[in-house]
Amino acid sequence: MVDALIFWSAATVYMVITLALAYMGWKRTKKGEDFLLAGRNVNPFIIGLSYGSTFISTSAIVGFGGVAAMWGMGIIWLVMLNIGVGILIAFIVYGPRVRRLGHKLNAVTFPDLMGKIYDSRLLRSTTALLLIVGMPLYAAAVIIGGSRFLETTLEVDFTYAVIGFTALTAMYVIFGGLLAVMYTDAFQGALMIVGMSAIMIITFWLLGGVTDATVALSNLATDPGIPSNYPMGSEGFTGWTSFPTFDSPLWYVMVTQIIMGVGIGVLAQPQLIVRYMTAKDAKSLNRAIPIGGLFIFLTTGVAYTVGALSNVYFFREENQLAIEIAGNRDAIMPLYIDSAMPDIVVVIFLLTLLAAAMSTLSSLFHTMGSAAGTDLWRQVKYSMAKRKGSLKELDEAPSLKVNRIATLLIIVVTLVLALQLPGDIVAIATAMFMGLCAAAFLPMLTYGLFFKRPSKIAAMSSMIVGAIVWFFWAAFIYTKDSVVFELCQILFDKDSLLGDPWMNIDPLVIAVPASVLALVIGWAIEHAVRKDDSDEPQDA
């Protein structure tokens, strides 16, 4: 257990800085659009760090660090996709178009952007509703990740940790809006870089250097002390420095869920897409690229490497693997840090973890609250005005008060969900949400950004089919997700309706092609309707 005096001294400094930045954001948040887009003139350095710290949360550090401890360093491929897709393609290909169209159409949220690109109120409200339904699971997983570490290192009751952690984050999101979120994100991101770098250096020092540590990890798979019933042994596990056997259950999970699901799903994350619209111009986005890329390389690369190497440490100290001692995948990284690191590093890591969780969580709260307080509320106001016949008097400007109330309500719902979810959920919930976003939003977003006169029918078909196919596959086929939903077990008394290899293939692999196909069919239908209308004889 970390020394309480050291922790609370460091935590006090951390909180003073965080609240000071939140206060700065609050002072500059005067109207609804400020709450939503931070004035559309954010510094590139802040954009890069905010984007990175929003993207990388406790899910990457705790959840995927635990995955690396169990399945090995094959997960490093995810770092490559995080940088190549999540930074380079995102900022070079998608970012400038999102920023330009967002400014041109005066869009203030991701659902608002989609609705205005396709000139469809229904699409905007449906996108917002899907966000509000799907995002709380991810947000709850982030809360759990941060709270589990508080529970492990400070012996704080898990329930109290969840409530306190959520309340602290909620305070500056509700009052400061996106500007407070991005200011605090930048500070928290800088802290994450320092903390993760220190952990990497000390880990290699403890294990005898880079070469000795890597060789020891490689040899660990053949050590006679490793139990024959190691959890991954029968599923394609070949060692901590090698990739799982091709076509094995573990190979499918590693490739389709962990690497592809998270690596590709990042392109369609609404809380990240909004960051593009805060930039003054395309040059600001370009200047944010090296900052975001370095951040992700240092944070995810360290988490995945240290997670795998924790097995070497525990095997030397306790003659057991990390999962045997921790008992829970999400407890591996916190236990390793608490066991191996000096108090000051444990404190830095604790604050790093809090920073990672708070930066991501604040963005998720803001995104969900904006979807409810701006997009859904606009639809409600429009429907009421239409019934009263007063559409000409309708004011659809974002309301600061409504957004704050909606954000508060969303936070309460997420808090309740976090208290109900089982353990060992952090990495799974992250991959699930990113897969859902890729299936429901990515084809529609890409089509809308890169094609003129995009089809409303195509967009709506793509989103609905992608979401439905993803949910069906997650709930009834893919066992890693179906055991979370429990619907298949309740209805059919089994975890999957199909056997190998389908039960090990992530929903993203099935749902994204289905979403693209639905988009093409929808486009063909609308194109045919337009052609028929144009071929009809016109009255003289």
Average pLDDT, the chain: 81
CB 496 within 8 A of CB 482: yes
pLDDT (0 to 100) of residue 37: 57
Q: What is the pLDDT of residues 12-38, one digit of tens each?
A: 888 888 888 777 777 776 666 556 655
Hey, what domains does the chain have and what are their CATH numbers?
Answer: 4-226+270-427 (1.20.1730.10)
CA distance 397 to 403: 11
Q: What is the mean pLDDT of residues 371-387?
A: 82
Q: Reply yes or no: is the peptide bond before residue 501 cis, omega within 30 of 0.
A: yes
CA distance 55 to 363: 9
Residue 315 has pLDDT above 80, yes or no: yes
Q: What is the mean pLDDT of residues 508-535?
A: 84
CA distance 438 to 440: 6
Closest residue by Cα to residue 496 from 134, 233, 249, 229: 249
Confidence class for position 540, pLDDT limits 50, 70, 90: very low
Rounded to whole angstroms, what are the CA distances from 18 to 115, 172, 305, 467? 35, 9, 29, 37
CB 101 within 8 A of CB 113: yes
Helices (H), 319-425: 322-326, 332-340, 343-370, 377-388, 400-420
DSSP, res 422: P
Residue 379 has pLDDT above 70, yes or no: yes
CB 518 within 8 A of CB 295: no
CA distance 48 to 432: 25
**464/426: higher pLDDT:** 464
What's the pTM? 0.80
Q: 321: buried, middle or exposed (CB in 10 Å: 19+, 13-18, 0-12)?
A: buried
Q: What is the pLDDT of residues 86-118, one digit of tens each?
A: 788 888 888 889 888 888 888 888 899 999 999
